[in-house]
Amino acid sequence: MNSGEIRYAMLESGEKIQYVYRDNPPRGGMKHTFFTPDRRYAVQFFNNPKDAADPLMQDRIRTIVGIYNPTRAENAGGAQGNTEKTADYFSRKFCWPVGIIKYPEFGIVCPTYPDNFFFGEGASAVLRLTGKDKKSNWFTGRNRKYLNPSELGDFRMMLKAAIGLARSVRRLHQAGLAHSDLSCNNVLIDPKTGSSVVIDIDSLVVPNKYLPEVCGTRGYIAPEVIETMEYGVNDPRKTLPSALTDLHAMPVLIYEYLFLRHPLIGPKIYSTESAEKDDFLAMGPSATFIEHPEDHSNRPPDLDVTIQSLSKGLEELFLRAFVDGLHRPEERPTAMEWERELLRAWNRLLPCSNEACSRKWFILRDENEPVCPFCGTRYSEPVIRIALKSEVRGKSGIFREKSEVFAYDNLALFDWHVYSTVHNDEKADALMRAYICKHDGKWLLVNNTINGLISPAGRLVPKGNAVELKDGAVLRMSDSLNGMLAEITMTLNNES
């Protein structure tokens, strides 16, 4: 066989696919990888022929490619309830296998990651990163300082990546699956765009059917898995990776995205007997959150920006994940809870007024103290809160608050800001309906595509026109039955 030779693989569907043979292909823990000539797809074979021949392994992969597949519509053999729209959405959130190879040996075909998940030229003046995939620890670990600043994104984009991750995990868990190895290696992020993609899908856990093949990656393995790692796979005392262990790994990643540090790695020495025992205790049975509200034994001395710098909802989730649920898995917040609170925090984002701020954005914790926790700069604009209210079913003219959003220059508004029946999820239309801008000292809501936007004076605001936002004003986002009321509160701070 000649390196660079074009070879063919036969899929179980009957299709043929070309791949470029290499003498030393990239190898992971279980598989080695070739690429199609256009590099749009990865063609993967198992390192161990016994794994490839294992009928349980083959059945698992057929199940994952078929009836559990969120990147394929139900009418095309994918996950139950999946539409073409949601399938298209999640095809960008997962690197999900798209085909099964039967010749020359059992294997899988996966789409390659989009180009933005690979480092390009000039990513670092020190590290040789060109062509490497963007594992999240490049951006949250010590090597961050060696990256070109253009690669780092900002706090807002890292929050967006966290939302994408929570949504992807929620979708897995809704299907009855668990990833089993969520980590910086298996979730790639692009801080420039705030996008994320979950990879290594073919080893997913299907509860009560397919056991996990891996225990996880150091730093992301749940304490109860580490604590029982010495037991055999059939020992009833052993804890195997599951959706509950995903609910430890996921908030570890989210915490890293937001704070650029690990939630359990602090100054505490757990054992002087050996480095191995210290690490076992630190990540396993004695693991302690560095921001534990009562036990400060693992708290770094320079912890300035903390979970109390976030929204109260996110603070509560981190405490549930790393205090209540750290050693009691059943108390960990679900992926759906994380997705919901991260979205609420997104609605509380404000741009930092300090152009030199390293994180550029912050979550507004207290409307009366709009101060960036990263640089200490007070927000220089009025704090504009828009309370979005939906009509109570069966009670015409009675509205209650459904959500809120804090306005800033060029804030985009979407269907979920206009209609009470639309949620910010994979089913929603991403078309901008309106936006808020500052013009000649006034704050305006500009109608882009909304039918029936009604001003506080009760007049129709045509598309392309604007209405001024003033303290105490109430406008109707749409005159349709499910159109929401928007109630404006404008708080002037000391520097406005």
Q: Which pLDDT band, with edges at 50, 70 and 90, does 37 fall under?
A: very high
The answer to whether the beta carbons of residues 66 and 53 sit under 8 Å apart is no
Of the chain, the percentage scoring pLDDT greater than 90 comes to 81
Report the largest interatomic distance among the alpha carbons of the chain, rounded to a whole angstrom.
Answer: 78
Side-chain half-sphere CA neighbours of 453 within 13 A: 22
111-145 residue pLDDT tens: 998 899 999 999 999 999 999 999 999 999 899 99
Residue 352, domain member (yes or no): no
Q: Which two tokens stand for residue 480?
A: 């349709």
Given 299, 322, 346, the domain boundary residue is 346
197 in any annotated domain: yes
Q: 391 - beta bridge partners?
A: 399
**For residue 80, is pLDDT > 90?**
no
Place of tokens 């996110």: 314
Higher pLDDT, 8 or 3: 8
Q: Are residues 72 and 57 in the same domain?
A: yes
What's the rounded Cα separation, in Å, for the pair 157 and 163?
A: 10
If asked whether residues 177 and 291 sit together in one domain, one would say: yes
In the chain, the N- to C-terminal Cα span, in Å, equals: 71
Do 342 and 212 lie in one domain? The reply is: yes
Query: For residue 289, is pLDDT > 70?
Result: yes
Residue 176 zone, left/alpha/beta (φ > 0; ψ -120 to 50; rest): left
**306 shares a domain with 197:** yes
The DSSP call for residue 27 is B
Both 330 and 443 in one domain: the answer is no
Mean of pLDDT values over 279-288: 96
Q: Amino acid identity of 371?
A: V
Number of domains the chain is built from = 3
Q: Which domain holds residue 135?
A: 117-346
**Nearest CA-CA partner of 113 in 23, 202, 200, 20:** 200
CATH of the domain at 206: 1.10.510.10
CA distance 481 to 117: 42
pLDDT average, residue stretch 421-430: 95
Query: Do 260 and 319 belong together in one domain?
Result: yes
Residue 372 falls within a domain, yes or no?
Answer: no
CA distance linking residue 349 with residue 467, whole number of Å: 23
Structure tokens at 490: 């404008």
DSSP tag of 381 = S
* Amino acid 297: pLDDT: 97
C-alpha 122/C-alpha 148 separation (Å) is 7
Q: How far apart are CA 343 and CA 346, in angstroms?
A: 5
pLDDT (0 to 100) of residue 419: 97
The DSSP letter of residue 166 is H
Please give the share of the chain, as a percent, with pLDDT higher than 70: 97
Q: Per the domain annotation, does 357 fall within a domain?
A: no
Q: What is the edge-to-edge ordering of all strands in the sheet holding 383-391?
A: 399-407, 383-391, 485-491, 474-476
Q: What confidence tier does 211 reach under pLDDT thresholds 50, 70, 90?
A: low
- Dihedral (C-alpha) 295, 300, 304, 306: value to the nearest 10 degrees? -50
pLDDT at 168 over 80: yes
C-alpha distances (whole Å) from 254 to each of 8, 174, 214, 245, 317 are: 41, 20, 22, 15, 11
Are both 319 and 417 inside the same structural domain? no
Domain for residue 356, yes or no? no
Say if residue 390 is in the same domain as residue 317: no
Residues 6 or more apart in contact with residue 100 via CB below 8 angstroms? 11, 12, 13, 58, 61, 62, 65, 106, 107, 108, 109
More confident residue, 2 or 462: 462
| Domain stop point among 60, 85, 112 | 112
Asked whether residue 265 falls in the same domain as residue 165, the answer is yes
Q: Tokens standing for 44?
A: 């993967």
End residue of a domain, out of 112, 130, 145? 112
Calculate the CA 413 to chain-centre distance: 21
22 belongs to a structural domain: yes
- Residue 462, number of CB atoms within 10 A of its CB: 10
- Residue-averaged pLDDT of the chain: 93
Position 371 in a domain: no
Do 14 and 64 belong together in one domain? yes
- 446 and 487 in a single domain? The answer is yes
Residue 17 counted as domain residue: yes
* 496 confidence band (pLDDT: 50, 70, 90): very low
Q: How confident is the model at residue 189 (pLDDT cuts 50, 70, 90)?
A: very high
Q: Is the pLDDT of residue 417 over 80?
A: yes
Q: Are residues 89 and 125 in the same domain?
A: no
What's the one-letter identity of residue 257? Y
* Identity of the residue numbered 182: L
Q: What CATH number is associated with residue 485?
A: 2.60.200.20
- What gap in Å lies between CA 293 and CA 252, rounded to an integer? 18
Instruction: Supply the Cα-derived Rg of the chain in whole angstroms.
Output: 25
Please state, in angstroms and rounded to a whole number, the distance separating the CA atoms of residues 35 and 493: 57
- 108 phi, psi to nearest 5 deg: -135, 160
Q: Taking 80 as the threshold, does the pLDDT of residue 2 lie above it?
A: no
Kindly give the residue spans of alpha helices, DSSP state H, lying in 198-269. 223-227, 243-259
Task: Establish whether the linkage from the previous residue to 104 is cis, with ω within 30° of 0.
Answer: yes
Look at 79-83, 102-106, 352-356 and tell me which has the smallest mean pLDDT.
Answer: 79-83
Q: Which of 281, 245, 283 lies closest to 263, judged by CA?
A: 283
| Torsion sign (Cα): 395, 397, 398, 400 | positive
